[in-house]
Amino acid sequence: MKSVFPYDSVELSASGREVVILDQTQLPNQEKFLHLTSAEEIFYAITRLKVRGAPAIGIAAAFGLAMCINRFRTRSLAALEKEFLRVKRYLFISRPTAVNLMWSLDRMERCFYATKQSLGTTEDKHAIEVIRNALTAEARAIKAEDVRMCEVISELGFSLLHPGCSILTHCNAGHLAVSKFGTALGPIYYAQQQGYSPKVYCDETRPLLQGARLTAYELTKAGIDVTLVCDNMAATLMAQGKVDFVFVGCDRVAANGDVANKIGTNGVAIIAKYYKVPVYVFAPTSTIDLTSASGNDIVIEERPAFEVTDMYYTKPMAPKGVQVYNPAFDITPASLVTGIVTEKGIIKPREVKNILKKG
């Protein structure tokens, strides 16, 4: 599969001492890369959505943790361990909903202790070097696995499509949100490469406009037929028979098949059910969280009021001090989801519990 972009949205420099991200808050107007060199900069980049999208957040956090450990100057293994845990706990709370963040940081912690244990009583200087290398390799492996996952998911998603089909998508689950290619947008790129000429309707995705700024940008760049619509236009499109499929990404899948994704996804799924349009949720297994029994157990991030009242406007678009409710995600019940596309296969929401057992 060919990538649309000559660069990735998240990268670890060859030295392992810088995390390089494409600042997504500057898109579509400017492709500006940031070189992050501290835990605070990584934390800020994640909370302010300079890097965003569940898999990309997980990769950025793993790279950030490895980078901080590579930069931490010490001769003491105990001090290194203390710093590792400090940075891990700090990044762990940078955003609450996308489970890939916690998943990748926990994986880095398992790597730290497995490596430490394997070293026995080696002197600290040597142990520190080995642990640094192991953490850097683990973070790079998380990204490499994500690339592979996206390729597989893209091919599986493609198998659902037909030439000339039209897809409605919400938020951004493309190249920018992952390592490469995307999840919900991956099949669309693949379909284009296979000559299917897919047509995409892209919700603008209020309030932070991930659809307008990022999805429309990506798809335009790839030469895909994309039409931007406001979030309240999905019913009109479906009533006119213009949508064959809804494809969306996901931040967390609960054990019962409920899915958390960008605010507005549930509304799209409800409309799709009414108009009998299939809804596919694209979720790598790193997004499945069996400790959440249902969507009720998933923490939904609430974001600041100014994102609704002021952001992207030249003047405030609401009276000063008005109460604002700004949940960043919603839960789409399993009953509205036609299928969940994982790298291990396309499953029914009720099959989520078993998919992690599959090799």
Distance CA 208, CA 25 (A): 9
Query: Does 146 participate in catalysis according to the annotation?
Result: no
Catalytic residue among 251, 258, 289, 330: 251
Binding pattern to ligand MRU, positions 311-340, x when CB under 6 A? -----------------x------------
- Which residue from 54, 61, 62, 127 is in contact with ligand MRU, where contact means CB under 6 A? 54
Scanning 124-132, 133-141, 173-181, 238-246 for contacts with ligand MRU by CB under 6 A, the matching segment is: 173-181
Number of C-beta neighbours around residue 199 at 10 A: 18
121-148: string of b/e by CB count within 10 Å (b at 16+)?
eeeeeebbeebbebbbebbbebbebbbe
Residues 230-249 interacting with ligand MRU (rule: CB under 6 A): 249
Residue 55 makes contact with ligand MRU by CB under 6 A: yes
Reported as type and span, the H/E element at residue 299 is none
Residue 171 makes contact with ligand MRU by CB under 6 A: yes
Measured from the CB of residue 208, what is the shortest distance to ligand MRU in angstroms? 7
Residue 22 makes contact with ligand MRU by CB under 6 A: no
Nearest alpha-carbon partner for 11 in 64, 52, 68: 64
Residue 173 makes contact with ligand MRU by CB under 6 A: yes
Residues 210-229 interacting with ligand MRU (rule: CB under 6 A): 210
Amino acid at site 127: A
Measured from the CB of residue 280, what is the shortest distance to ligand MRU in angstroms? 13
Residue 183 makes contact with ligand MRU by CB under 6 A: yes
Q: Residue 192 or residue 210: which is nearer to ligand MRU going by CB? A: 210
Nearest alpha-carbon partner for 118 in 133, 131, 104, 135: 131
By CB under 6 A, how many residues form the interface with ligand MRU?
Answer: 18
Q: Are 20 and 38 in contact (CB under 8 A)?
A: no
Residue 177 makes contact with ligand MRU by CB under 6 A: yes
- Which residue from 50, 132, 180, 262 is in contact with ligand MRU, where contact means CB under 6 A? 262
- Which residue from 251, 289, 330, 343 is in contact with ligand MRU, where contact means CB under 6 A? 251
157-193: string of b/e by CB count within 10 Å (b at 16+)?
bbebbeeebbbbbbbbbbbbbbbbbbbbbbbbbbbbe
Token pair for 40: 């605070």
Residue 204 makes contact with ligand MRU by CB under 6 A: no
Q: Are 10 and 35 in contact (CB under 8 A)?
A: no
Measured from the CB of residue 128, what is the shortest distance to ligand MRU in angstroms? 34
Distance CA 271, CA 282 (A): 19
Question: What residue ranges in 37-180 does DSSP mark as E strands?
Answer: 166-169
Binding pattern to ligand MRU, positions 265-284, x when CB under 6 A? --------------------
Residue 261 makes contact with ligand MRU by CB under 6 A: yes
Question: What residue ranges in the chain does DSSP mark as E strands?
Answer: 10-12, 19-22, 33-36, 166-169, 199-203, 225-229, 245-248, 252-254, 259-262, 279-282, 288-289, 329-332, 339-342, 345-347
Amino acid at site 279: V
Measured from the CB of residue 294, what is the shortest distance to ligand MRU in angstroms? 19
Q: Which residues bind ligand MRU (CB under 6 A)?
A: 49, 52-55, 98, 171, 173, 177-178, 183, 210, 249-251, 261-262, 328
**Active centre residues (catalytic):** 251
